[in-house]
């Protein structure tokens, strides 16, 4: 065995370099959803999409147009949650829905 082959045979497998530090994956400080109560909801359900079309993109309570970022909630007109007929459903802003169930009528 000559000097060259003995040096190669004794070299560590990584070429004598220090092992790399493992990179930690950075986690985003913000959750992937806008509000905690929307955690398990899709952006717009099929029912909400259909109601948006029926109501011409307007709130059933105030008649204002919905814009991106608005919280949309489905209101049961007869207040019976088991009655999910489309004639009984209305799409309203989140704050309008709160006013409806608070018993306050502003119109």
Mean pLDDT by 10 residues, the chain (107 residues): 57 66 58 49 74 92 89 92 92 92 68
- Whether 73 maps to a domain, the answer reads yes
- Whether 16 maps to a domain, the answer reads no
The pLDDT of residue 60: 92
The pLDDT of residue 41: 52
- Whether 23 maps to a domain, the answer reads no
The pLDDT of residue 42: 54
- Whether 52 maps to a domain, the answer reads yes
**How many C-beta atoms surround the C-beta of residue 46 within 10 A?**
8
- Whether 94 maps to a domain, the answer reads yes
- Whether 95 maps to a domain, the answer reads yes
The pLDDT of residue 24: 63
- Whether 84 maps to a domain, the answer reads yes
Alpha carbon of 59 to those of 6, 22, 56: distances in Å? 82, 52, 9
Q: In which domain, by residue range, is 61 found?
A: 40-102
- Whether 14 maps to a domain, the answer reads no
Beta bridge partners of 76: 89
Instruction: Tally the domains of the chain.
Output: 1
Whole-structure pTM value: 0.55
């Amino acid at each position: 065995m000559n000097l060259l082959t003995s040096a190669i045979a004794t070299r560590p497998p990584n070429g004598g370099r220090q092992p790399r530090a493992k990179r930690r994956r950075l986690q985003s400080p913000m959750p992937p959803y806008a509000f905690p109560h929307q955690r398990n909801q899709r952006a717009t359900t099929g029912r909400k999409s259909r109601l948006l079309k029926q109501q011409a993109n307007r709130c059933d309570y105030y008649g204002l147009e919905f814009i991106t970022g608005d919280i949309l909630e489905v209101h049961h007109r007869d207040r019976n949650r088991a009655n999910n007929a489309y004639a009984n459903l209305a799409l309203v802003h989140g704050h309008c829905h709160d006013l409806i169930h608070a018993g306050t009528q502003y119109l």
